[in-house]
Structure 1
Amino acid sequence: MNLDSSKPLYLQIAADIKNNILSKKYKPGEKLPIENALSEQYEVSKITIRKAIQKLSDEGFVKKVQGKGTFVTYQKDKLLLNKTSGFKEVLSTKGHSAKNEVIQASFLNADENISDKLSIPMDTKIVYLERLVWEDNEPMALDKIYFENDKFPDFITKLDDNRSFYQILEESYAIKPKNSVLEINGISANSHQADILKCNIGDPLFYINKISYDENNKPIHYSITTIRCDRITYVVFNNDTTTTNEKIKS
């Protein structure tokens, strides 16, 4: 700490802890040292530490949990709804490590709902893929994907935790989505969702139904994705005259 600075000590401490968070010395979800430890580390009173922590809490960098301590919060990433790329591609461009853990890969016969979504006859053989999307070693989304087996033969054998669904489509089948239609709703996490996504029961989640289309406007896949709201902000960028000159800040 710079005792000769006109900047109050609690602001200097808050800035130092913030730098440690941004540099990932303190990682998202990690508990900060207790007040006594921070007081000794910075050689200031616990009152000064409390003011610094409150400053960080007001700015959304930490969250105080009664009886448990102070935890580093997740800094939400902004995703453009207009983009057809997958989570892994988007998160990687924002400096995150990302992987897709395959939970289930099996064959099903299309029911009425799936046949309607994919514009295929009832009982058509489809591939069902369920995967958990990880960001920086923490689960952030559960993805359930349905697509026609005949369009992507041997797809299951090509599954790889280090390759996204869209990477496999492009690299193995030379197919890249042209556009997508998304329907977004909000739900509260039930016990199963809370357990698999490592959140609390009742936490808000995005619930997204998505159909991606190829260049001929034929459905490629239908998916249902459940995403933690504390990890992602979805942004819509319109091309009309009122928003053309606006820029999205990541």
Structure 2
Amino acid sequence: MKKLNAKSNKPLYLQVEAAIRNDIQQKKYLPGEQLPTEEEMCNLYSVSKITIRKAFKLLTENGLVERQRGRGTFVKPKKETLAIGNDKGFNSSLSSRGHKVENNILHARRIKADKFLSEKLHIKINDSVINIKRLMLEDNIPLGIDNFYVEDAKYPEILDNISSTKSLYQLLSDKYQVENYQSELTFNGIIATQETAELLQCLTGDPLFVVEKISFNSEGQVIHYSSSTIRCDRVTYVIKTGPNDDKNISVDQVTE
């Protein structure tokens, strides 16, 4: 139980709000973590539900927490700004800011190219394709789902070398000496299905980015195709323009 200063001129709800805000800043409650229920907070601070609700309302207005109907109150993750065209990849961009980045492999398999993949990868229908699907996490919170496709014949033994800690781009560079030269990007918006929401720990119907990318080497040959589904509440994309506006831009930070 935490004691408040009953003799203070500061209202109890402001004291509770300050105490919870301090706990968030001190990492007692981590980004994306659910706060104790109103009843638990009442017992913790020996105050009424009205006091807790006023404290929660203030925390919500200040952008520190978010109330999710039917689920509870959660610490609001900081929304990261990622520059499209940044040479840094997704892993290195967030790691350099002190974030823990992980990629949980959902599946890694060989499939046959259909018409769609044959056009994206510039291969024949029924050619063998490597598909690696990963759940991307930032500070243990799901950020996005990446579906990565490469032509099997170009990258022998790639399935034996993937890991949750190493970037796929770094793997292509280190093992196959492949470097991205330019990329084509397509951005779209969708809403989360029940299956996607469960993976991303968001609500069904929440807005999501879908970023499709085809990367090329310096000779214009396709390196890979990927489709990444990203939580809109976790990422803001920024496009910088200038004298070289006509050059191709890449979004390695999304699909690394």
TM over 0.5: yes
Letter in 2 for 1:231: R
Deviates more, 1:67-76 or 1:45-54: 45-54
The aligned runs of 1:15-30 (5 Å cut-off) are 15-30=18-33
Deviates more, 1:47-56 or 1:226-235: 47-56
1:212 and 1:221 in contact (8 A); partners too: yes
Task: State the match for 2:79 in structure 1.
Answer: 76
The aligned runs of 1:207-246 (5 Å cut-off) are 207-240=210-243
- When normalised by structure 1's length, the TM-score is 0.81
For the pair 1:100 / 2:103, whether they are aligned, the reply is yes
- When normalised by structure 2's length, the TM-score is 0.79
Q: Which of 174, 184, 193 does residue 187 from structure 2 map onto?
A: 184
Structure 1, unaligned stretches of length 5 or more? 242-250
For the pair 1:165 / 2:168, whether they are aligned, the reply is yes
Give the C-alpha shift of residue 95 in structure 1.
Answer: 1.8
For the pair 1:133 / 2:142, whether they are aligned, the reply is no
Between the aligned partners of 2:122 and 2:214, the Cα distance in structure 1 is: 11
Deviates more, 1:30-39 or 1:153-162: 30-39
Aligned length: 241
Q: Which of 58, 61, 78 does residue 58 from structure 1 map onto?
A: 61
Give the C-alpha shift of residue 186 in structure 1.
Answer: 0.7
Letter in 2 for 1:101: N
Structure 2, unaligned stretches of length 5 or more? 245-256
For the pair 1:200 / 2:206, whether they are aligned, the reply is no
Q: 1:41/1:195 Cα in 2 relative to 1: closer, same or farther (>3 Å)?
A: closer
Between the aligned partners of 1:240 and 1:42, the Cα distance in structure 2 is: 58
Deviations 1:150-178 (A, max 9, x none): 22221111011111211211222222322
Q: 1:240/1:2 Cα in 2 relative to 1: closer, same or farther (>3 Å)?
A: farther
Letter in 1 for 2:154: K
Give the C-alpha shift of residue 52 in structure 1.
Answer: 3.3
Give the C-alpha shift of residue 3 in structure 1.
Answer: 9.4
Task: State the match for 1:114 in structure 2.
Answer: 117
Between the aligned partners of 1:146 and 1:69, the Cα distance in structure 2 is: 38
For the pair 1:90 / 2:96, whether they are aligned, the reply is no
Letter in 1 for 2:225: Y
Deviates more, 1:158-167 or 1:26-35: 26-35
Deviates more, 1:46-55 or 1:17-26: 46-55
1:84 and 1:177 in contact (8 A); partners too: no
**Larger relative contact order, structure 1 or 2 (CA cutoff 8 Å, min sep 6):** 2
The CA RMSD over aligned residues, in Å, is 2.9
